[in-house]
Structure 1
Amino acid sequence: MFGNFAISVVIGLALGFLFGVGCAAAVLYTIFLSGYRAALRDAAAGGASDRYREQIRKVTHR
């Protein structure tokens, strides 16, 4: 009675889950890579930024 419908539902859920997880993983991977590249760029720049020095000054003068 529900044979074809049940198979369609299972296939739809499986594909939906796989594509959903795949897209989420791609987004997280992109965010990770952009953050990683920015961290490497900041580390290679040498020295502290002006904003960092200003924040350290604020914290130490409390």
Structure 2
Amino acid sequence: MNAFGPAAILGLIFGFMWGIGCSLAVMYSIYLGGYRKAVKDSLARPQPEHYSKALEKIRAKHQKKAANR
């Protein structure tokens, strides 16, 4: 422990926490941007083609689950 010194250990710990915190913030902002885009697409008229295809896949999956019950 004395070879590195307490300042180096604290720097390593704070650097690790800073790095993890920043990466989580970036991942959350990417997630939120995708969520906003999905809401925007769902409210658009006419709805985009990729939204309609995704919605049909989801409905088919729900119908399949309901039929299996």
Q: TM-score range by the shorter chain?
A: 0.5 to 0.7
Which SS does the other structure have where 1:3 is aligned? coil
Q: Could you tell me which residue of structure 2 aligns to residue 28 of structure 1?
A: 27
TM-fit CA distance, 1:47: 4.1
Q: Which stretches in structure 1 are left out of the alignment for 5+ residues? A: 57-62
**Counterpart in the other structure of 1:60:** none
Any stretches of 5+ residues in structure 2 without a counterpart?
Answer: 54-69
Q: For the pair shown, which has the larger CA radius of gyration, 1 or 2?
A: 1
The number of residues matched between the two structures is 51
- Structure 1 residue aligned with 2:14: 15
TM-score (norm 2): 0.60
Runs of 4+ in 1 over 2 A off after TM superposition: 2-6, 46-49
Task: Name the % identity.
Answer: 37
Per chain length, whose mean CA-contact separation is higher, i.e. which structure has more relative contact order (CA < 8 Å, sep 6+)?
2
